[in-house]
Chains A and B, each alone.
Chain A
Amino acid sequence: MSEPILELRGINKSFGPVHVLHDIDFTVNPGEVTALVGDNGAGKSTLVKCIAGIHPAESGEILFEGEPVHIKGPRDAAELGIEVVYQDLALADNLDIVQNMFLGRERTKIGLLDETDMEQAARKTLASLSVRTVKSVRTQVSSLSGGQRQTVAIAKAVLWNSKVVLLDEPTAALGVAQTRQVLDLVRRLAEQGLGVVLISHNMNDVFEVADRIACLYLGRMAAVVGSKDVTHGQVVELITAGRSGDLGIARPEAATI
C-alpha cells in the first residue's frame, strides 16, 4: 500500500465539557475511498471539520504527505489541497456551473474575469470526470437536479487540484439513478489518485465504493477494516456496539462520551 496522503494521530476535540473525539487515528491513502461510518453523534462530522480546519483539533498530530502540518482554518486546509463537499451543497442557485465552480477563486486577466479560460477549465474537469448529464456548463444551477448539483459540488472540489476530498453524505437526498451517478463519480475521483473520504449512513453505498471502512463509536475509532474483509452485519455491529467478534474496541461498555 502506498504512503498515506493524510494521517491523523491521536486527535482529541471537546466542545466545552463534552469530549467528542478521543485519540483518533485515521489515515487516507491516495487512490482509495475510505468510508467513515458511525451512528449519529459518533463524531464523523466533527472529525471532518477538524481536518477541514473549521474546528481545529485540540491535541494530536496531522501529517500531510508525511509532513506535520497545522490546520487552523479552512484556508489552511484549502492550501494543502483538502476540499470538503458539504451535505447542504454550498452552491449559489442564481449562478451557472462555471461561475459556481470558480466562486471565490475567479481567474482574472488584468483585473477582469477571464470567462473563456474558466469555461474551458470547467469543461475539462467535468469531461475528465465523465460527467455527461449536464447539458451545458453555462446552465444555471437552479435548473439542475439534485444529483447534478452534487456532481457540480464534487467537480468544484476536484478543480483545485486537490489531493484529498471529503464528502459529507453526498447521496443522502438523492434518488436511485442520481445516487448511481454520484457513486460512479466518487469511484472516478479515487481512480484519478485522490484520497477520498466518504461519510455515509448507507451501507450499500459504502460497500459499493469504499476500499476501507473506518467505524467511529462514541468518539473513538472502533476499527478500520478493508471492505472486502467484513460483512454488512459486522459493520453494523461496529457502528451500534463498537465491537464485532474480535474487531472493535476491547470494552465498548466502558466508553463514555
Chain B
Amino acid sequence: MSSEEASMTNTTDTPAQETPQGAISDFGIDTTSQSTGEAVRDYWARVRGGELGSLPALLGLVVLLIVFSSLSDTFFTLGNLANLLQQGASITIIAMGLVFVLLLGEIDLSAGTASGVTGSVMALHLIHNGNLLGGMGDTVFYMFCGLLVLAIVLSALMKVWAGTALSAVALIIAAVGIPANAWLEMLLAVCVGAAIGCITGFLVARVGIPSFVVTLALFLVWTGVVLQFIGQGGTLGLRDDTIFNVANGNLNFVGSWALFVIAVGGYAAVVLTRHFSRLRRGLVAQPTTLVLIKIGALALLAAVITYALSINRAPSNLVVIQGVPYVVPLVLVLLVIGTFVLDRTSYGRHIYAVGGNKEAARRAGINVERIRMSVFVIASSLAAIGAIVYSSKVGSVDPNAGGGDTLLMSVGAAVIGGTSLFGGKGRLRDAVIGGAVLAIIRNGMGLLHQPAAVVFIVTGLVLLLAASVDALSRRRAANAAR
C-alpha cells in the first residue's frame, strides 16, 4: 500500500529532479537525470522534511487491518470486507466534498444535515410519485420552490453557472411533477444539494459571514427542514430496487473485471502519457522503471481485490453474493473526476491558490468570491450523493438523516487522510483513505462487540493522533524551510 502511496504522490507533483538539455541546462542544479535510487531517496527526504501527505493514514490503515484481523475471526472475511466498503462509502463521499471547502480554509458544518434534506426530498418524490406539492403541503412546497429560485438568482449573480443549472433542474423536477423514477429522484437530490450550496456559498463569499457561523446556522435550519419534511417520529421508506442497489448491489462478474481493466488501464494510460511526454520534452521525469513498478503494484493490488470480491461471499447456499459493490466504481469515479478537476484544470489550481494566499490570488486576477462560492456548491452536491448512498444502505430516510455525527465523521475522515484545516493543503484521496480508516474502526470495534462508548472514544483518539501528526509534520516542514 505504501508503494501505491509513493506512486500517487510522485506522479502528481514531480519533485526536484533533473533534465539534460541545452539552454535549459543553465538552470541551476536542475539538470542531471535521476536513477530509481535517487528518486526513492528524494521521496524519503521529503517525508523526513515533513511532507507526509497521506502516508500516516495509510500506515494507520494497514495497522488497523492487521489488528482487527488478528482479534476477530469475522473481520477479514470476504463478506465483511465488502460490507465495509458499503458502510464507509457515504462518509467518504461527503468527506470528498468537504475537502474542496477545507482547501480554502473554510468549513461546512451544514453538509451533514443538508444531505439529510436532499435525502428526504428524494424520498418524498418517490413516495408521493412525483407530487412534491402533496408530499410537503402547500406552504412548505412554495417556500421550497422559493428557495430554489433564490439559489438560481444568487448563483447567476455570482456567475457560478453550474449551480444555476442544477438549481434550475431541481426547480423543474419539483414543479413539473414527473412520476417517480429512481434516476430522476437521485438527480433531484443532487440538484437540491447544489441549490443548498449556492445559498451557503453566497452567504459566505458575497455577504462575508464567516463560514463557521453560516453553516452552524444552516446546520440548525436544515435539521428543522428534515423534521418538517418527514414529520416527527416518522420514516420515509425507499422501496425501489434501483435506489436500494446503490449501496447494496454488486457489479456482476464481467462488470467487475471490466471495472478492473478500465481503472488500471486508465491509470496506466494517464501516467505513461504524461511520463513520456515529459521525457520527450526533456523535462524532469521519474525513472521509467519506477513508473512501471508503481503501475504494476497498483494493477496487482486491484486484481487481488477484484478477484476476492468476485468470489461468492454469501453466508448461506441459498443466494449468491458476488462482484464488486456498486459503491466502489461510484467512489472511484468521483475520486477520478475530482482529482482531475483539482490537478489538471485552472479552476482546481485557483482553489489551491485561494486557499494558500487569497490576496495573491486576487492580484493574479482570480475571481476569489466565485471560487469561494463554488466550493460550497460542490460540497453540498457531493453531500447529496452521500445521502443517496446512506439512505440506500438503510432503505429509508428518518428525521435524523445526516444529523448526529455524520458531518463530524466526514470532517474527521478528511483530516485523518491529511487535509489541512488551514487551507491550501489536501487531496481528494485523503478523504477516501480517512473514510476507510473510520469505517474500519467502526466495523472492527462492532465485530469485537465493543459498546458505542468505546467506539466513539477510539475514533476520537485516532482523529487526535492524526491532527498531532499533521501539526508535528508542519512544524518540521517549517523548520526545514529555514
Contacts and interface: CB of A to CB of B under 8 A. Distances in A.
Interface of A: 74-75, 78, 86, 88-96, 99-100, 103-106, 108, 111-113, 116, 119-120, 123-124, 126-127, 130-139, 142-144
A94 B364 contact: no
B366 A93 contact: no
Contact of A112 (B17, B281, B345): B345
A214 to B, nearest CB: 25
Contacts, number: 116
Interface in B305-362: 343-346, 349-350, 352-353, 355-357, 359-361
Given A94-B356, A103-B353, A127 B27 contact: yes
Interface residues of B, number: 40
B24 interface: yes
A143 B480 contact: yes
B364 A105 contact: yes
A90 B24 contact: no
B30 A90 contact: no
A111 B341 CA distance: 11
B345 A123 contact: no
A89 B28 CA distance: 23
B356 A93 contact: yes
B137 interface: no
Contacts of B284: 136, 138
A116 B278 contact: yes
Nearest to A54: B363
A94 B15 contact: no
B349 A103 contact: yes
A131 B28 contact: yes
Contacts of B27: 123, 126-127, 131-132, 137
Contacts of A108: 345-346
A33 B366 CA distance: 30
A113 B14 contact: no
B16 interface: yes
Determine chain A's interface SS by DSSP, over half rule.
loop
A104 B13 contact: no
B361 A113 contact: no
A86 B360 CA distance: 10
Given A104-B365, A105-B364, A113-B345, A91 B357 contact: yes
Nearest to A138: B14
B283 interface: yes
Interface in B230-270: none
A105 B30 contact: no
Nearest to B27: A127
Given A138-B15, A138-B284, A86 B363 contact: yes
B424 interface: yes
Contact of B283 (A99, A106, A119, A133): A119
A113 B16 contact: no
Q: Which of A92, A120, A132 neighbours the largest number of chain B CB atoms within 10 Å of its CB?
A: A92
In the complex, the 9 A-B pairs of residues with the closest C-beta atoms, listed nearest first: A104-B364, A92-B356, A94-B356, A136-B16, A94-B424, A92-B357, A104-B365, A127-B26, A103-B364
A90 B357 contact: yes
A89 B424 CA distance: 18
A133 B365 contact: no
Contacts of A123: 24, 27, 30
Contacts of A134: 28, 30
Contacts of B29: 135
Nearest to A143: B481
Given A94-B356, A132-B26, A135-B28, 10 more contacts: A89-B360, A92-B353, A93-B356, A100-B360, A105-B364, A113-B345, A116-B278, A124-B23, A130-B26, A132-B28
A90 B363 contact: yes
B72 interface: no
Contacts of B343: 113
A106 B16 contact: no
Contacts of B481: 142-144
24 contacts: A75-B365, A78-B365, A86-B363, A88-B359, A89-B360, A90-B359, A90-B360, A92-B352, A92-B353, A92-B424, A93-B357, A95-B349, A95-B352, A103-B364, A103-B366, A104-B350, A112-B344, A113-B343, A113-B346, A116-B277, A131-B28, A136-B284, A138-B284, A143-B477
